[in-house]
Structure 1
Amino acid sequence: MLGKYPTFPPTDPGFEDPPRLSNYDVVVIGGGGGGYHGAFELSKGGYKVLLVDDKGNLGGNCLYEGCIPSKSVSIAIYLMEKLRNILNSVGNTDINKVKILWENVIDHKDNVQYIRYLQHIREIKEHENVDFVKGIARVVDNHRVVVEAIDGSWRREVEGKYLLVATGSTAIRIPVPGAELAIGSEELFGYKTKYRKVPDNVVVIGGGYIGVEVASALSSLGVKVTIVEMLPRILSGWDQDIVSQIEERLRSKGVEILTNSKVIGIKEEAGQKVVEYERKDGSKGSVAGSEIIMAVGRKPYVEGLDTLGIVDKGHVEVDSSMRTKVPNVYAAGDVIGKYMLYHSAVKESVIAAWNIMHGKPIYEINFNAIPMTIFTEPEAAMVGLSEDAAKARGINYVTVQYPLADDSYAQIIGVRDGWVKLVIEKESQRIIGGVVYGEAASMIINEIALAVAVNARVKDLALLPHAHPTIFESIDRAAIRFSL
């Protein structure tokens, strides 16, 4: 619910005042990635911008409870595992003495969030054309917006020549009896969360990338984890090779994976929380844990936007220029329901701002070149067309693959599991997709995304020298395996 957070991020007293002006060039609703990057671009272009966010700071859900805090946790656990692996490789039997406590990890992520919130306060003040207001914005029509203080102490109506809607998304909570017994990302990773001790065993509802990341991190700390997923496999839509590898790694860490299992209820019993589920054949089962984590995804936050006529099937409909069917209203980020990823929201926001400044749609986003990453241990990432997608489109393609076991950097760090795979259109030799499983997949995939975006040929990558010894050499090592 808007304006309702257990702990608000740090803000500046000046941000709690009403909007200074009655008329702005652009009113931006939402201070997440889909909002503030566009606002800053507009400011640089000399546009008077009102930016409204109910948290009183920037970063949206990504910084408050999502990507930044969760990755702060996972990177600490990653470093612990890397040190353990290196010690194990040289016969050190005391690897279990290398430990990290959940409380320490949460303190670390709180500190990272605090640093970034202070940074955002500075950035807002550096953009003099942006009036940032901590408040709740409600759309009246395609030009008028009512802004209200969180505590209701003031209320002001403003007008904007343009609107940029970036209201983000909210966590989905499946409508089953006992759903309120489960916790979610806000409890786990929210700013200054009071949930600071990890339980002995958990049940994760949802086998998407969020649920899988949580399962990977907790199991690395010795927590017994069970994933309950209603679909036939976890990570639906991901490359099957990646899914197989991640499943194998999770099971090796003691994670139980229950697929084709639809949750029908949650209850408390004998000091435990019990998830009841129904299998595809109609039979029922249950699994208990000291905590239940709901990780079934997010949905666009479209409340109050129906008045504009821009909402379709639960999301704001936009074209590739980020313009809605209402010419002066643009939208970006999770609210459009496409790639619900921070880095996608940022580019959508910038494109919307640039098109507003040009007065017409000129720039477009290439959704096909947006990389996706799963921050498991090890990481996984993909971009562009998968093999299944290429087959479905009737594309004559080939793949080339390079094992990280042969990469010098991977050998140095002791992370030899994984591979880099390129998907290539055979006739044109264009890179149309890529899949990475292993160390630094979240970084390697960006270069492949660039290749997809600029229609690079496989030989372009094969001829590109990478610094040695770095794991990026695996890209040209894969590309050079292509045969004419």
Structure 2
Amino acid sequence: MKRFDNIVIGFGKGGKTLAAKLSKEGQSVALLERSDRMFGGTCINVACIPTKSLENSARLSDDMGGGFDARAERYREAVERKRELTASLRQKNYAKMEAAGVAVLVGAASFTGAHTVRLDLPDGQSEELYGERIFINTGARPFIPPIDGLLDSRYSYTSEQMMELDELPKRLMILGGGYIGMEFASIFCNFGSKVTVVQDGDAFLPREDTEIAEAVLESLEKRGVRVLRGTKTKSVRDAGGHADILLDTPAGEERLEAEAILIATGRRPELSGLYPEAAGIELTERGAVKVDEHLRTSVPHIFAMGDVAGGLQFTYISLDDSRIVASAVLGDGARTTENRGAVPYSVFLDPPFSRVGLSEAEAVKQGYTVKIARLPVAAIPKSQVLRKPDGLLKAVVDAETGHILGAHLFCVESYEMINQIKLAMDADLPYTVLRDAIYTHPTMSEAFNDLFAALA
């Protein structure tokens, strides 16, 4: 049996960052990954990086215009560029671990005890590993709803599979109206697919501010995306080069044809084959690993990071989780999930939507007296320069203290702007600091001058 000070299960952002840090401290570390095509984790292989690569290519393709055939050719080129990018990043991630002295082992891991893990190797052999501490960073997997014929259809794809399509579908149905579905709707719409989004719920982006959600919906529909709300997918059947989909809409039954169906109905913690119960690890009701504020599981020497721990599914949360765990095992434990502040996020539509903190409704519900700042994106000179005038900026401010409670930015380059808001919130700065700052011109950030000036 091979013995290590630390075993990290999963080559994701949190796992690889922690592994390198522990190795730098002189501790032995084994980093286990099920597939050599997942070195670096979900983000660089099947999520953030490849989707943003495709999003960038799709936006450029839309600017170039042309018919479906021309766009389809640009789509094929974009997929190949995406593959080259992810392959390069996989190799770089492996090289970094090797240089850090981390032992990268490929195989399927499963707990056999509180300190022991069996690793089933690609050649059919297996070996037992012992770890003084064990860290779980296995991510999440797509959730497949039990719809008649969906799994049997050759035209059904998860988001991971969708990015490997060699041919651009003329018609794409997206099952699910969440963030993943919206990003793919924007990408494939820009490439030239006819996109229909089908969601069970009546509210579009129900977790978001109503005004912003309406602005996003209007923008997507203007670009040709059809969104069917309050609609259930009853069945899927393959029929001569396409899928035949039966829908139950508020107006009655409807049949939809598509060359591809994207299943974007959420992701669940990935624990298949890991057998956490063999180590005495407790799970939550939703199937995530149960952790405390230090990300420690019910077994004191076992920790969980990233999506598998049931928190927000962002790679930078996994990164911050690694800091929290490092604080617990190498430091004083001062860093926790309770003190990392508001978490920003971006949805890479065209234009992108970014948010941090509370919505207006959430702030009022929590008892704040609020002031609301709004600015149409068309009023920002840089948006006109970029020919991206769609969107709305909205900020929620505590009327008593002047501190920013939340911001919602639906505009070009919002994914950069939102970090300024996050910094101001973490530093407890009043909105006037952003209002009165001097910005370069023309930039999107200078919109904060006008946005917050509306509160004077």
**Alignment TM-score > 0.5, same fold:** yes
Task: Name the stretch that deviates more: 469-478 or 224-233.
Answer: 469-478
User: In structure 2, what residue type is equivalent to 1:66?
Assistant: A
DSSP 3-state at the match of 1:311: coil
For 1:415 and 1:110, locate their aligned partners in 2 and report how far apart those are by CA, in whole Å.
29
Of the structure 1 ranges 98-107 and 214-223, higher mean CA displacement relative to structure 2 is found in 98-107
2:455 maps to which residue?
482
2:127 aligned to which of 156, 161, 186: 156
1:208 corresponds, among 178, 182, 192, to 178
Quote how far apart the aligned CAs of 1:163 are.
1.4
Match of 1:88 in 2: none
**CA 447–95 in structure 1, closer or farther in 2 if over 3 Å, else same:** farther
Q: What are the residue-to-residue correspondences of 1:78-477 with 2, within 5 Å?
A: 78-82=59-63, 99=71, 101-128=74-101, 130-153=102-125, 155-180=126-151, 181=153, 182-189=156-163, 193=164, 195-279=165-249, 283-303=252-272, 304-307=275-278, 308-313=280-285, 314-358=287-331, 361-365=333-337, 366=339, 369-477=342-450
Tell me, in whole angstroms, the C-alpha distance in 1 between the residues paired with 2:75 and 2:358. 38
What per-residue deviation string (whole Å, max 9, x for no partner) do you get for residues 362-400 of structure 1?
A: 211346521121111111011111112112212212221
Judge conservation of contact 2:178–2:264 (CA < 8 Å) in 1: yes
- Aligned-pair identity in percent equals 26
Other-structure match for 1:8: none
Q: Take 1:479 and 1:249, find their aligned partners in 2: how far apart are those partners? A: 24
Change (3 A) 1:269 1:98: closer
Displacement of 1:171 in angstroms is 0.6
Equivalent in the alignment of 2:46: 65
The structural deviation recorded for 1:137 is: 1.4
What amino acid sits opposite 1:284 in the alignment? E
Q: Gaps (5+ residues) in structure 2?
A: none
Distance in 2, Cα, partners of 1:453 & 1:97: 49
Is this contact kept in 2: 1:401–1:419, CA < 8 A? yes
Counterparts of 1:476 and 1:220, CA distance in 2: 32
Structure 1 residue matching 2:157: 3-state secondary structure: coil
TM-score scaled to structure 1, two decimals? 0.86
**Alpha-carbon distance, 1:211 to partner:** 0.9
Given that 1:34 and 1:168 are in contact with CA atoms closer than 8 Å, whether structure 2 keeps it comes out as no
- Structure 1 residues 217, 355: CA separation in 2 closer, same or farther (over 3 Å shift)? same
Moved more, 137-146 or 363-372: 363-372
Counterpart of 1:10? none
Contact 2:40/2:94 (<8 A) preserved: no
- Does the CA-based 8 Å contact 2:140-2:270 persist in structure 1? yes
Amino acid at match of 2:389: R
In structure 2, the residue corresponding to 1:28 is in which secondary structure? strand
Shift of residue 106, structure 1, vs aligned partner: 0.3
- Cα deviation, 1:447-467, whole Å, max 9, x if unaligned, reads 212222332221222233323
What is the distance in 2 between the residues matched to 1:221 and 1:426? 44
Contact 2:281 2:297 in 1 (8 A): no
CA distance in 1 between partners of 2:52 and 2:426 (Å):
26
Moved over 4 A (4+): 94-100
What's the counterpart of residue 18 of structure 1? none
Deviation at 1:32, TM superposition (A): 1.1
Q: Partners of 1:380 and 1:251 in 2: how far apart?
A: 16
Retained in 1: the 8 A contact 2:324–2:333?
no
Cα separation, partners in 2 of 1:149 and 1:220, compared to 1, 3 Å = same
1:128-152 CA-partner distances (Å, limit 9, x unpaired): 2x21111121112332212221232
Equivalents in 1 of 2:365, 2:340: separation in Å? 18
Does structure 1 conserve the Cα–Cα contact (< 8 Å) formed by 2:281 and 2:289? no
Mapped contact 1:378–1:439 kept (Cα < 8 A)? yes
**Change in 2 beyond 3 A, CA 1:42/1:460:** farther
Find the aligned partners of 1:285 and 1:96 in 2 and give their Cα distance: 26
Whether the 8 Å contact between 2:212 and 2:392 is mirrored in structure 1 is no
Q: 1:52 aligns with which of 32, 41, 59?
A: 32
Contact 1:38 1:351 in 2 (8 A): no
Residue 266 of structure 1 contacts residue 273 of structure 1 at CA under 8 Å; is this kept in 2?
yes
C-alpha RMSD of matched pairs (Å):
2.3
Q: Where in structure 1 are there 5+ consecutive unaligned residues?
A: 1-20, 85-93
Distance 1:356 1:200, change over 3 A: same
1:110 alignment partner, SS class = helix
The alignment covers a number of residue pairs equal to: 446
Q: Counterpart of 2:116 in structure 1: which amino acid?
A: R
Q: Shift of residue 431 of structure 1?
A: 1.3
Alpha-carbon separation, structure 2, partners of 1:139 and 1:455: 44
Paired with 1:430 and 1:481, the residues of 2 have a C-alpha distance of 15
Separation in 1, partners of 2:367, 2:123: 57
Paired residue secondary structure (2:32): strand
| Separation in 2, partners of 1:300, 1:37 | 20
Contact kept, 8 Å, 2:53 with 2:82, in 1: the verdict is yes
- Taking structure 2 as the reference length, the TM-score comes to 0.91
Q: In 2 relative to 1, CA 459–43 (structure 1 residues): closer, same or farther, beyond 3 Å?
A: farther
Question: What is the one-letter code of the residue matched to 1:296?
Answer: T
